[in-house]
Structure formats: C-alpha cells, structure tokens
Structure 1
Amino acid sequence: MILVTGDIVAQPGTLDEVLALSLEHVRRSRAEPGCISHAVHRDEENPLRLVFVEQWADRESLLAHFAVPASRSFAKAVGGLAAQPPTLQIYDARPLPL
C-alpha cells in the first residue's frame, strides 16, 4: 500500500476556496481505481492549514491519479492560493502485525 500525506496553508482570505477545491478533489479521487481512502482534515492549531491523508493500492494507481488532468488542475489552483509551497510525502507502507 502507498500512503500519501501532504498539507497546504491557505493565504488569509482564501481558506473557503481552498477547502471547496480540496473537498471536490478528495471526493473525485475516492472514485479512482486503486484509491483505498482519501481525506482532507483541518489543523486545529493552524486554522489556515489543511492536511491530506491518502491510501493507494499500489504505485501504479497513485501515478495514474497524478496523471488525471483534474488532479493537476487542483494542484495548480490551490498552489496559487497557498501562503507557502504545499508539501507532499509518499511512503511505501506495509501493515505491521498486532
């Protein structure tokens, strides 16, 4: 499984737009092949920061997600509303036995 985390800090006055774009992106992404989960969360310590957590079945599914024109459009749109460059981390995750 591939785990993706990231965040975006919205410029003051743009949070509603960033949140709307993010929710649209998350909901669309959930329907893509290989998407296990895709969510956006609000940071309670920084009200302008949104945090993304995604799970993908494999690398190929994630790469296909990045290639979707709507994904690229989302990244460009929210990047223009960000107070600083958004972050993205990708991990090859394997569950540990309990």
Structure 2
Amino acid sequence: MAGEPQIIVLGSVTTTEADMPELLEAALAHVRRSRTEPGCLAHGVSRDVEDPLRLVFVERWADRAALDAHFAVPESSAFVEVVGRVATTPPTLELLPIVPRD
C-alpha cells in the first residue's frame, strides 16, 4: 500500500429505549449516505448483542483526507447533533490507521 494508510473508525452510542427508533433511523440514513462518499470503503452499524441500547459503527476509509471530507459533509454534522441529543453517555470514536504488514 502506497501513500497514506487507510483508516478504520470504531464508534458507539448508547441511548434510551424511547430514543432508539430515532437513533436507528438517523444511523441507517447516515450509513447509507456515507457509503456513497468518495473514499468510503465500508460503513456499517450494528446493535450490541450485550446492550441492545448501544449501536456500534465500523467504517473503513481510503485515507485521512477522505475521512476528513466525510466529517465536513453537512449531513454528518446533522447526525452528530442527533447523537448528542439522544446519547445517555458520551459517544466513543476511535480512528485507527491500517499498518501494512511487510
């Protein structure tokens, strides 16, 4: 792999049972839209089997520039607003560069 490394994003958000339908709708719209963005190699959301009020996001981006462009899209900011409103604990977000094996 030449150039900048691909980036894995791991995120999660926990909400209430009452707010889960709104969060699920926003999360699915966000994931489906994100998959169409340049540099998005994978983007998914799943419910945590140990905590059904927690959603887990796994994303893969071609490089940091593609991820930064994703963060700059107005719809991403709108999704972050929904998360901020319905989260019961601070959401998590980790950015992990993929290190090629030699």
Q: TM-score, normalised by structure 1?
A: 0.94
Alignment partners' CA distance in 2, 1:65 and 1:45 = 29
Count of aligned residue pairs for this structure pair: 97
State the shift of 1:95 in Å.
4.5
* DSSP 3-state at the match of 1:80: helix
What is the root-mean-square deviation in Å for CA atoms of aligned residues?
1.1
Matched with 1:59 is 64
Alignment partners' CA distance in 2, 1:25 and 1:80 = 16
Q: TM-score, normalised by structure 2?
A: 0.91
Give CA-to-partner distance per residue, 1:35-64, whole Å, 9 cap, x none. Answer: 000000000100100000000000000000
Is 2:6 the partner of 1:5?
Answer: no
Alignment partners' CA distance in 1, 2:38 and 2:61 = 9
Matched with 1:30 is 35
Alignment partners' CA distance in 1, 2:77 and 2:52 = 25
Identity rate, percent: 52
Q: Which 4+ residue blocks in structure 1 deviate beyond 3 angstroms?
A: none
Alignment partners' CA distance in 2, 1:96 and 1:49 = 33
| Structure 2: 5+ residue stretches without partners | 1-5
Matched with 1:68 is 73
